[in-house]
Amino acid sequence: MVSAAYAETAESIADEAWKYLQLSDNFTYNRSDSALWASLKALELAKRSDDPELLSQAHRSASIAFGDMGLYDEAIEQAYLAIALIEKNELNDAEKRIADCYHSLAWFYTYLEDTEKPLPLFHRALSFSKRVLPTDSIGMANSFHAIGAYHYLYSLQMDSAIFYLTKAVDWYSRLDASAEEMLQVLVELVNAYYLKPDIAKGDSVLAELRLYKPSEASDYVQNYILYLEGLRAAELEDHPLAIERLETVYNWGDTTMLLQSSVGINLTRKLIETLEEAGEFEKAYHYLSALRKVEQETIYKDRQRTAKALEYKHETARKELQIRNQQKQLMLQRVGIATAVVVLLVISVLLIALYRTNKRVKQKNEKIAMLMRELHHRVKNNLQTVSSLLGFQSMRLKDADAKKAVAEGRERLRAMALIHNLLYTDDDVETINIREYLTELISELQMSYGKQESVTLNVEISNAQLDAETALPLGLIVNELVTNTFKYATAGNDVLILTVSLTKVADPRWELSIADNGVQPSSATSSNGGGFGLKLVDMLVQQLNGTWQQQFHNGYRTTIRF
């Protein structure tokens, strides 16, 4: 493990950073999270050194590690930082290293499903490879191979794929390239020909592949050749040969991670298709079951990878915040109370920013509900304020009719304030429980006119939710009619009975009925439509697109349909 006991000198910092870079390389192929940790430690140390070579290598290592973790935005940022350092300081092998960085950038954008940036970046890498000395022109071959692979795998432009893969073969043939490098290009070229389709040329390159000795090819290439032979045999309907080749590759892939990759999934699907065409449905079902299991595991691993990437981002943000807070605490200790105030303000800003970020995650309807409740609260307060002002004003009035008009106005304001109060206190800010609203309104009117003993209330209101635009005019109507009853109705020697009912008669039609057992109409002056109260009722009924009628039979009854 890398020692943490080096003295704080540029040389010791550089030595420690190089060890972390080596550690990151060791972790790259099997432990991407550990590779990222080691590369970030190296980057942290490299930033404290005066060595641009070291810093560029650290950025490059971090770019690769971020890419392996699926954090492509961070990988892209680190690759561009590495390029900038290499170009600025004219480091050794600059063209080759910049070409490698541009290759990585092209693949990162490809994985981000960006269809515009990858190809120009591949060609930019190619332009840097052309500047390398002929003895190092293996970079040219690699660039042609990368562009061909991109067209073959992602853009699906097989003519372009064949062109660049052929160019790569030409370059590898001129150089002292290994047989493995040549074979990897050739197998992709065969597949590109088959997908074009240009079967004859594909067969020709496949025949060329068979000339290589098995010892010259890796297991991957040997099995890729078998896979291509299986595809060709399936095309020729030679099902036994196709199944034999594809099963051989499948069994090899079962010992590696091939079956979990997109290549392995395509292999399994082709094997299932060939078995079905050959009538071997039982074996086809066996492989299909295995494929479903692999697909589920792949989905699970993708989710794990995403979760790990998110966990890294969260942990990095948490550690950065922790480091900033520790720095602020040290500053507090060094510069005293004045600096402490500034630091506390900065921390407060950070906490507010964090709070706002978390708040944005909540659903928009919660914010709307809060704003609506606040609106209803303010409307209620404003209505109560207006009512209080009217009360104070009425105390100075001498005219009895004026006082009466003001009092009636206050009752109407109270009916409106009550509905806004219920909307403010309820979780649902768009609808209101009409039973609760009207019952409370009638009870307040009864108390206001001192009719608790002299009037018996029968309230039969459906337990339903109505929107505020309907409930408000309905409440004002009830306020006017119940007020008329309390003010004008008498029952002789009997107790006055007031019945208020609201029922749904036919969806979406409602019927409101207000009746009393008075010995005469509620208001002799208003029964003919001349009073302001009944004019207001008429306006409100029209607002509800309703109709209404009044009649006297064993009491005074008003019926409203809306």
Q: Quick: pLDDT tens for 218-229.
A: 888 888 888 888
- What is the rounded (10 degree) CA torsion for 225, 231, 234, 239? 40
pLDDT-derived band at 560, boundaries 50, 70, 90? very high
Evaluate whether 67 touches 39 at the Cβ level (below 8 Å).
no
* Cα separation, 309 vs 71, whole angstroms: 7
Domain boundaries, the chain: 218-353, 362-429, 445-562
Helices 52-68 and 94-111, axial angle in degrees (round to 10): 20
552 forms beta bridges with 556
Residue with the larger pLDDT of the pair 347 and 2? 347
User: Which CATH architecture fits 445-562?
Assistant: 2-Layer Sandwich (3.30)
Position of tokens 């003519």? 159
**What are phi and psi for residue 510, nearest 5 degrees?**
-125, 160
Which carries the bigger pLDDT value, residue 120 or residue 324? Answer: 120
Return the higher-pLDDT residue of 266 and 383: 266
Q: Between these two residues, 147 and 259, which has the higher pLDDT value?
A: 147
Q: How confident is the model at residue 371 (pLDDT cuts 50, 70, 90)?
A: very low
Q: Which of 205, 130, 129 is nearest to 161 (CA)?
A: 205
CA-nearest of 500, 498, 504 to 452 is 498
- Contact present, 72 and 108 (Cβ < 8 Å): yes
Whether residue 214 has a cis bond before it, omega within 30° of 0: no
Q: Is the pLDDT of residue 73 over 70?
A: yes
pLDDT (tens digit per residue) in 221-263: 888 888 888 888 888 889 999 899 999 988 888 887 777 777 7
Q: What class, spelled out in words, does domain 218-353 have in CATH?
A: mainly alpha
Residue 435's contacts (CB-CB under 8 Å, 6 or more residues apart) are: 461, 462, 463, 464, 502
| DSSP per position, 279-320 | T-HHHHHHHHHHHHHHHHHHHHHHHHHHHHHHHHHHHHHHHH
Mean pLDDT for the stretch of residues 86-113: 84
Rounded Cα distance, 204 and 198, in Å: 10
Kindly state the tokens that stand for 542. 């029209």
If one compares 334 and 413, the residue with the highest pLDDT of the two is: 334
Cα 401 to Cα 409: distance, rounded to the nearest angstrom:
12
Mean pLDDT for 146-159 is 85
Please compute the mean of the pLDDT values over residues 475-500 and round it to a whole number. Answer: 80
Q: Is the pLDDT of residue 127 over 60?
A: yes
Give the position of tokens 């040997």.
222
Looking at per-residue pLDDT, the higher value among 309 and 292 belongs to 292
Contact 59, 68 (CB under 8 A): no
Highest mean pLDDT out of 321-335, 378-392, 397-411:
321-335
Quick check: bond before 508 cis, omega within 30?
Answer: yes
Q: The pTM is what?
A: 0.47
Cα–Cα distance measured from residue 261 to residue 301, given in angstroms and rounded to the nearest whole number: 11
For the cut 80, the answer to whether the pLDDT of residue 63 exceeds it is yes
